[in-house]
Amino acid sequence: MAAEAGRRGDDSARSCGQMVGDMIPRIQRLFTDLRMKGACNKVGEFSMDLFRPFRRIHELSFAGFVSEVKATMTMNPHNPVSGFVLWNVLAFWFGVVNMIIYASFGTKALWEAVVAIITGFTIAYFLFWVFVHSNDKWYQRYSLIFSVCLTIYYAFSAFGNLFNIISPFFDGCKAVATGVMSIHAWKIHTSDASAQDPTVLVLH
């Protein structure tokens, strides 16, 4: 029995090793492809959007906002690229504020909050590049699936921590932001919206 269990353990270890060995070249090719397509060249533009999240919005009015919300809820936003940028940025900042509060009250260690913020920035930037500057439908398709999964995760996190005031509030905000962002991402993916000028969102 012990010998058989040992053989099974060895087989499992070899299978895992083979799987990892097969994945490494694929990951290397993926990073090479991203680098060749300029995936790291838009950090400056994204950083500008982070600190000026409404810079792409002009002629803002309540009626225009309501019209945009209605169009988004029907899966047909008027300005998918600009809307995507806005909600992507909002989702990131909700996460940042959440981590700062956690670190301030000692719920999370400072290094955990820093790692979470860096991870959030990386994800937000990658999604920004994929849907705003990349016309690659393969990246867009899997990034859209990832965005939807994030929305579901944040929604479940919000409902699972209802007795903790801070966590469900920010998880709910992130769920809404990533959900609306996903709608805009879907519109971009199913059209040529990413080829349009992403600098103007007129709400009038």
DSSP string, 72-118: HHTT--SSHHHHHHHHHHHHHHHHHHHHHHHHHTTSS-HHHHHHHHH
pLDDT by residue, tens only, the chain of 204 residues: 545 544 554 555 556 556 656 667 777 777 787 778 777 888 999 999 998 877 766 655 656 666 776 777 767 777 888 889 989 999 999 999 989 988 888 778 889 999 999 999 999 999 999 999 988 899 999 999 999 999 999 998 888 776 666 678 888 999 999 999 999 999 999 886 554 444 444 444
Q: pTM to 2 decimals?
A: 0.78
127, 185 Cβ separation under 8 angstroms: yes
Tokens found for residue 192: 């040529």
122, 160 Cβ separation under 8 angstroms: no
Maximum distance among all alpha carbons in the chain? 75
CA distance linking residue 121 with residue 66, whole number of Å: 29
CA distance linking residue 3 with residue 106, whole number of Å: 49
C-alpha 21: how far from its chain's center?
28
Q: What is the DSSP letter of 161?
A: T
Tokens found for residue 64: 């225009």
Q: Which residues of 137-176 are buried (b: 16+ CB within 10 A; e: fewer)?
A: eebbeebbebbbebbeebbebbeeeeeeeebbebbbbbbb
Q: Which amino acid is at 97?
A: V
CA distance linking residue 152 with residue 157, whole number of Å: 8
